[in-house]
Amino acid sequence: MSAVLYLKVLGATFLVLGLFLVLFYFLRKGRMGWSQGSGEIEIREIRALDLKHRLALVRVRDRILLLGLSEKGVALLKEWPDEVA
């Protein structure tokens, strides 16, 4: 295999990998439009307690919800009115 052909194949490989990384970044951030909704639900923060348990602070319309997330499901721990809304 000549050096020129090797460089072309290597360049094409890096180009494809770069495109996949850019696509993954936009899908992860929700900028492609697929994961964005009407704005009624906003995840404010998620904190891991351990490997299997998390706390999530979520705004739904005019309410703030503290949710417990685990393998067994989702539990509402606390609810507050949203003063910003």
pLDDT, tens digit (0-9, with 9 covering 90-100), for 1-33: 688 888 999 999 999 999 999 888 877 776 555
Q: What is the pLDDT at residue 1?
A: 67
Total domain count, the chain:
2
Q: Which tokens sit at 24?
A: 């993954």
Q: What is the pLDDT at residue 30?
A: 62
Q: Are residues 79 and 56 part of one domain?
A: yes
Q: Are residues 83 and 61 part of one domain?
A: yes
Q: Could you give the CA distance from residue 39 to residue 81 in angstroms, rounded to a whole number?
A: 17
* Residue 69, phi then psi, degrees to nearest 5: -115, 130
Q: What is the pTM of this model?
A: 0.54
Of residues 36 and 9, more confidence is placed in 9
Q: What's the mean pLDDT in 43-68?
A: 93
Q: Are residues 30 and 8 part of one domain?
A: yes
Q: Are residues 47 and 14 part of one domain?
A: no
The range of the structural domain enclosing residue 73 comes to 39-85
* Residue 76, phi then psi, degrees to nearest 5: -80, 115
Of 42, 80, 48, which Cα lies nearest the Cα of 64?
80
Q: Are residues 85 and 44 part of one domain?
A: yes
